[in-house]
Amino acid sequence: MKKFLATILALTMILALAACGGNDSGSSSAPPADSGSQSSEPAASSGGNGDAKTVGIAMPTQSLERWNRDGAYLDEQFKAAGYNTIVTYSDNKNEQQVNDIQNMLAQGVDLLIIAAIDGNALNTVMNDAGAAGVPVIAYDRLIMNDNASYYVSFDNYTVGKLQGEYVRDALDLDNAAGPFNIEFTAGDPADNNAGYFFNGAMDVLKPYIESGKLVVPSGQTEFSAVATDQWQTDVALDRAQNVLASFYSGGAKLDAWLCSNDSTSLGVAQAVTADYAGGNSVIITGQDGDVANLRNIKDGVQSMTVYKAVANEAVVTLDLAKAILDSGTADGSLISASGWDFACDYDTTSYQTSDGHNCPSFLLVPDVVTADNMEEKLVTPGYYVVGADGYLEATNG
Ligand code: GAL
């Protein structure tokens, strides 16, 4: 029940943020602006005291909806558990994230939770954390440094696989005559997850490309050709417009556009709506369940999103942090001991921070959301509510 209340509180904060535009320039609304950090005392109800341990929570940016949700959930849940928190958003700028983490170390944090902007570019602060004996939980995105003590995320490969399978089934690739035309948009090359998403989808769809059932008119099937810097909607929009102008203006039919997440999906959907001349509805995938994308799904502009319950990701992170800090057992036995009412795997072989160095990982299970199951998957568990206009909102406040 406590977790549910924390969820409601966090969602209220997100709605306030959304009302302010939720951009990186920041506002006085919580969560704090990207330009700085905010120390918080433990929630009054927790009976916190000066001896409470402090947890540094470094999120990448406020410009993408999901990270606002993650930051809010983590902050609320750690405070409710009696920890002090410092939360930063670093405007998708690696140097700023390095500074923010350095400041946290200088303030004597007991544990760091980091969703890296660039998983390859945090070596200095990660080594500093290691030297100071501060454990680091790599949150959602792996950090390529052996001082990452644990990794908490969703099964990233499965996210891409679910997107690929959705396209496969929607086009009935095993039975329909085809051929069908498809394009791809992947994520940020600096984000270790992006390759997993792309490979998961490609592993499903590649056999159909090889057999000729699926055709990629642009010819762009390599990750490097379809990647999107910083997952930016505008970057995805520009590339989609170029592809449509170059390969579809002569009347070619576009059947599907596989997008790795919702921010890129927004750009692709905008380009398709404005610049694609065909009369068919185009299958477009996504990931995250961002509110704007849920609207597009309801309107038939986007077909699906892979939803990751970030509230549960925060629950796992909190319980793992408690085990690390308060000398519980920080291994797979946490799963049975925790009593979580959602699935989570303990994996010690899939994610390596360097050659031969496995990072013990807690991996949650992603889920497919479409117009048909949106209420069951998102409203019934309490993640969203149906607004007066019939579209989903983060909360009714
Ligand atoms: C990924 C994350 C996705 C998506 C993307 C853009 O690392 O796993 O859920 O949000 O970043 O921020």
Per-residue model confidence as pLDDT tens digits over 82-100: 999 999 999 999 999 999 9
With CA atoms as reference, report the closest residue to 313 among 112, 71, 117. 71
Average pLDDT over residues 262-283: 97
State which ligand 1 atom lies nearest to the alpha carbon of 115: 7
What single letter denotes the amino acid at residue 299? D
Mean pLDDT of 359-384: 96
Q: Is the pLDDT of residue 375 over 50?
A: yes
Atom of ligand 1 nearest to the CA of 192: 7
Report the 10 Å Cβ neighbour count for 254.
23
Predicted model pTM: 0.89
Mean pLDDT for the chain? Answer: 89
Spacing, Cα 193 to ligand 1 middle (Å): 7
Q: What are the tens digits of pLDDT across the range 6-48?
A: 444 444 444 334 333 333 433 223 334 454 555 443 333 333 4
Indicate if the alpha-carbon torsion angle 7, 13, 19, 25 is positive or negative: negative
For residue 373, the model assigns a pLDDT of 98
Structure token digits, residue 258: 């596989």
Half-sphere exposure of 186 (CA within 13 A, CB side): 25
Q: Residue 191's closest CA among 150, 242, 230?
A: 230
Residue 68 has which token pair?
Answer: 């606002």
Q: What SS3 class is residue 39?
A: strand
The whole-number pLDDT of residue 65 equals: 94
Ligand 1 probe mutation, 140, 162, 312, 364, most atoms within 8 A of CB: 140
Question: What is the pLDDT at residue 395?
Answer: 72
- Residue listed under structure tokens 């059932």: 213
Ligand 1 pocket, mutate which of 24, 34, 66 (most atoms under 8 A from CB) = 66
Ligand 1 centre from 291 Cα, in Å? 15
If you take atom 9 of ligand 1, which residue's CA is the nearest one? 288
Ligand 1 pocket residues where CB is under 6 Å = 64, 66, 140-141, 187, 191, 193, 231, 261, 287-288, 308
How long a stretch of residues is the chain?
Answer: 397
Pocket test for ligand 1, best of 67, 90, 231 (most atoms within 8 A of CB): 231
308 Cα: distance to centroid of ligand 1 (angstroms)? 10
Residue of 73, 188, 191 to test ligand 1 pocket, by largest number of atoms within 8 Å of CB: 191
Residue among 142, 121, 24, 15 nearest 69 (CA): 15
CA distances from 314 to 145, 149, 340, 397 (A): 22, 17, 12, 21
Alpha carbon distance 101, 129 (integer Å): 9
CB 193 within 8 A of CB 156: yes
Residue 293 pLDDT > 50: yes
